[in-house]
Structure 1
């Protein structure tokens, strides 16, 4: 950590206060700030009650959905009488949409339609479930932020090609005051360099939370592939997939929910802001999308991958509107052509380069089959929007400039 004189400290403080105001005031809803610290509850007391036997005929189902921001998750729990073996065993439910930016108070009930079931890693001791849901309005039409419904239609249309996705989810750990976890207050840590895949007390910030999340995802039944520390200190990444169809996006959303819940217990915020720190030489956060079809994954598939890249090159502007929840404006802060990114304005591709829009990994070029990596999606993207437009462009040969999301 650098030591500054009094004048430099004052100037730095002013810069940081401006930076912090910008951090908190942006649209990205996970940028919340607590004006006072929240006293942690005593886990010993909590565990005394959570260790009570749960009746065999009463299970907990936590219904989870995306709210009106398109970024934030909400959840509530109900008691059910028996373990659901398939999604049809779970009933639709409702919630107050006027409190989630999804309805007006005069007609506030929004429907929750269960679409995927996972084991609950929080309420242990019984077969409790996490239930991912779509949201529907009073006419039972998908709400504005229910992008899953259309995504599922596209996946069914391209089912014969067996599209598969892997998501590389980057995120940043924040204290409750909105400043990165582990960073000195009113100052910056040492420059980027030692943190990527780093090991050590001064290189790794928050590993306990990361490893807890990894194990919880495995328990829930997710296809979590790996995890690593990222280039910016207090920034991490994990990978979901490869998983076919809409299930890949389902799993990414549930993994985000699990991450938020575990961070909550540590008193840490999770930020998916694509550029959490703009002052200084710091990397942003993306959610790179790895894409393949069954044919791309077989010998000779490289030619199909190159054809897919060519299709993507003609719809760059359309894709950028789908790759963050603000229609592209969030990603403009991240895709500057620096910090391992390509320019927001132009499409580019290459083998093994991390400064392009779409990368063909070196091992794919050597084997002549595999997958492509679209590096453009932001960390706060909706994976349903990302996977939907990828399938429309590559598998369904859509070429129009219009987009329906």
Structure 2
């Protein structure tokens, strides 16, 4: 854990006290030790007392960790379900737990639940009840066993989606037959930044100062280049355990910044998996005593921002002749650039400056293998004449339900006028 500069005492205890070969001290052993001390007579120095206090503290932590790691399956069929939803900011995740009498395999087996929306900024105090609808289930990597994480969306008691429920609208789009027939695939690259707890400054950075310039940190290794790898690796494994379709991870360009990829995922599943992965990352950083931020430009100046690049393809794009379908999709995207930008994350204007591998927020562009464009097409896609496109505009704090459904809507359901299409085609041909 060398790269974690300011872990909590609890995290340090877990690292130093736990061992595959060590066994926790039982009450009987502890009592025997105390009796032996008593037989020797009263303690005459504070040193012995301090040793006993240290052991007692470590014993308490071991007991707590033992309870947290209890496997309930041999003793009861009951499980714990963690209901997870998106809070009032549209980016914060909230959760609470309840017990069920037996293991659950499908969201339809779970009841609706409610929470106090006035405490999350999602309902007034005089009518504060918000209803949770279970939508997707993942294995719980923190509690293990048959325990589960449940991704929910939120509704009024009358059954109307609340304003921060973007999943409901996305589900409508993904249920459209045209969209279903095209089997939309998504691969989402979630970037994030780790901050030191008390100072809210990136992990690995001198407090109040700056590290060396960008260059050696991207996919780097070493104590002077990689900060937070244990968190990234723990998150990677926890997501695999949970059943999230995580496909990779890497250190990013700015020190203290990381990325993981989820996909390929089909339709609404992409949003469910990203939100579940974000919740797991929040829990891991909580345990590590490190702060997670999805701010698209956490440090101003000559430092890369944090995006959530979204790779996208349809069945027609993946088949022979798909490159022409991709170009038609790009044309449609150019005509709705403003609508997409307005929905692609808070504070994205601080990131999309035309520098640091971004296009200007005010200009739409596309290119092959060009990371400075709004839409990038890979060399292999150009060579094969089919494949996918990468939308590089979404910010790290974007809502994946909005971005994925908007891409499907713009490229599969929305039809521009012939005049607008011709004008856009002319502009795009000049950009390439």
TM-score of the two chains, using structure 1 as the length reference: 0.86
Residue of structure 1 equivalent to 2:146: 127
**Against the structure 1 CA distance between its residues 390 and 53, is the aligned structure 2 distance closer, same or farther, given a 3 Å change threshold?**
closer
Residue of structure 2 equivalent to 1:345: 362
Per-residue CA deviations over 1:15-38 (Å, capped at 9, x if unaligned) read xxxxxxxxxxxxxxxxxxxxx996
**Against the structure 1 CA distance between its residues 220 and 398, is the aligned structure 2 distance closer, same or farther, given a 3 Å change threshold?**
farther
Q: Normalized per residue, which structure has more helix? A: 2
Displacement of 1:114: 0.2
Question: Are 2:165 and 1:146 aligned?
Answer: yes
Residue of structure 2 equivalent to 1:240: 262
Per-residue CA deviations over 1:24-63 (Å, capped at 9, x if unaligned) read xxxxxxxxxxxx9965375423212124442422100000
Question: Are 2:60 and 1:90 aligned?
Answer: no
Greater radius of gyration (CA): 2
Displacement of 1:288: 0.5
Instruction: Check whether the contact 2:185–2:312 (CA below 8 A) recurs between aligned residues.
Output: yes
Instruction: Check whether the contact 1:63–1:77 (CA below 8 A) recurs between aligned residues.
Output: yes
SS at 2:404 equivalent: helix
Select 1:290's aligned residue among 300, 303, 311.
311
Select 1:102's aligned residue among 117, 122, 141.
122
Question: Are 2:202 and 1:175 aligned?
Answer: no
Aligned counterparts, 1:166-205, within 5 A: 166-176=187-197, 177-205=199-227
Instruction: Check whether the contact 1:360–1:373 (CA below 8 A) recurs between aligned residues.
Output: yes
Aligned counterparts, 1:1-400, within 5 A: 40=10, 43=14, 44-54=62-72, 55-124=75-144, 126-157=145-176, 158-176=179-197, 177-278=199-300, 280-324=301-345, 326=346, 330-399=347-416
**How many Å separate the matches in 2 of 1:210 and 1:231?**
15
Per-residue CA deviations over 1:60-79 (Å, capped at 9, x if unaligned) read 00000001110000010101
**How many Å separate the matches in 2 of 1:37 and 1:201?**
16
Instruction: Check whether the contact 1:162–1:244 (CA below 8 A) recurs between aligned residues.
Output: yes
Name structure 1 gaps, 5 residues minimum: 1-35
TM-score of the two chains, using structure 2 as the length reference: 0.81
Q: CA RMSD in A?
A: 1.7
Per-residue CA deviations over 1:257-288 (Å, capped at 9, x if unaligned) read 0111111111011110000001x310000000
